[in-house]
């Protein structure tokens, strides 16, 4: 059985200096079922698409926003605030590219670059991602799937997961 997976996505808006850090969860599934894995991935994608559409409505009059994916991080990031149930917070975010290339990044919330790097160097799991280059610092709006009512997506697809 594959467990739930927490995924962080860092986006920027084109032609603006606005950043969004999204946190979603891919539901668990049976490792023996490719159908369940595909559905789990689809659920996570639908939730992320919904959140991006809602951000577009909130931050732009016509709702049309061109988002650019900076990177993706799966797992346990640096910074306590990234574990809060809800988002809608402006955070001081640091990220680094990894040896694995785009879209993979290491992400964290910290008061300074030194604090970010100290936490990174103390975490063997994060170091295994082989960070490269220098950390980049941005201010991002942190948004979680808990900030929205995604019950229609979750209920419809979770029912499919259980029956396949």
- pLDDT surpasses 60 at 160: no
- How far from each other are the two terminal CA atoms of the chain, in whole angstroms? 14
Residue pLDDT, tens place only, 31-73: 887 888 888 889 999 999 999 999 888 877 665 778 999 999 9
Q: Give the per-residue pLDDT at 108.
A: 97
Please state, in angstroms and rounded to a whole number, the distance separating the CA atoms of residues 107 and 120.
9
Please state, in angstroms and rounded to a whole number, the distance separating the CA atoms of residues 26 and 61.
31
- pLDDT surpasses 80 at 154: no
Please state, in angstroms and rounded to a whole number, the distance separating the CA atoms of residues 2 and 38.
12
Please state, in angstroms and rounded to a whole number, the distance separating the CA atoms of residues 79 and 140.
14
24 vs 35, higher pLDDT: 24
Q: Give the per-residue pLDDT at 40.
A: 86
Residue pLDDT, tens place only, 92-143: 999 999 999 999 999 999 999 999 999 999 999 999 999 999 999 999 999 9
Angle at 92 between CA 55 and CA 148, to 5 degrees: 30
Cβ-in-10-Å burial (0-12, 13-18, 19+) of 26 comes to buried
Tell me the average pLDDT across 147-154. 84
Buried b or exposed e, range 64-94, using 16+ CB within 10 angstroms:
ebebeebbebeeebbbeebeeeebebebbbb
111: CB partners within 8 A, 6+ apart: 92
- pLDDT surpasses 80 at 2: no
Q: Return the SS3 of 37.
A: helix
What is the value of pTM for the model shown?
Answer: 0.89
Based on the structure, what is the number of domains in the chain? 1
- The closest of 111, 75, 80, 105 to 93, measured between CA atoms, is 111
- Residue 23 belongs to domain spanning: 5-163
């Amino acid at each position: 059985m594959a467990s739930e997976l927490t995924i962080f996505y860092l986006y920027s808006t084109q032609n603006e200096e606005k950043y969004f850090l999204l946190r979603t969860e891919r539901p668990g599934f049976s490792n023996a079922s490719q159908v369940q894995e595909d559905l789990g991935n689809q659920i996570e994608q639908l939730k992320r698409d919904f959140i991006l559409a809602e951000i577009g409505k909130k931050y732009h009059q016509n709702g049309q926003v061109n988002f650019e994916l900076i990177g993706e991080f799966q797992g346990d990031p640096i910074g306590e605030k990234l574990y809060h149930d809800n988002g809608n917070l402006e955070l001081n975010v640091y990220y680094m590219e990894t040896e694995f290339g785009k879209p993979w990044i290491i992400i964290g919330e910290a008061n300074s670059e030194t604090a970010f790097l100290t936490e990174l160097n103390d975490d063997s799991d994060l170091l295994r991602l082989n960070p490269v280059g220098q950390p980049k610092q941005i201010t991002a709006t942190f948004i979680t799937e808990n900030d929205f009512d995604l019950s229609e997506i979750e209920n419809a697809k979770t029912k499919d997961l259980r029956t396949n």
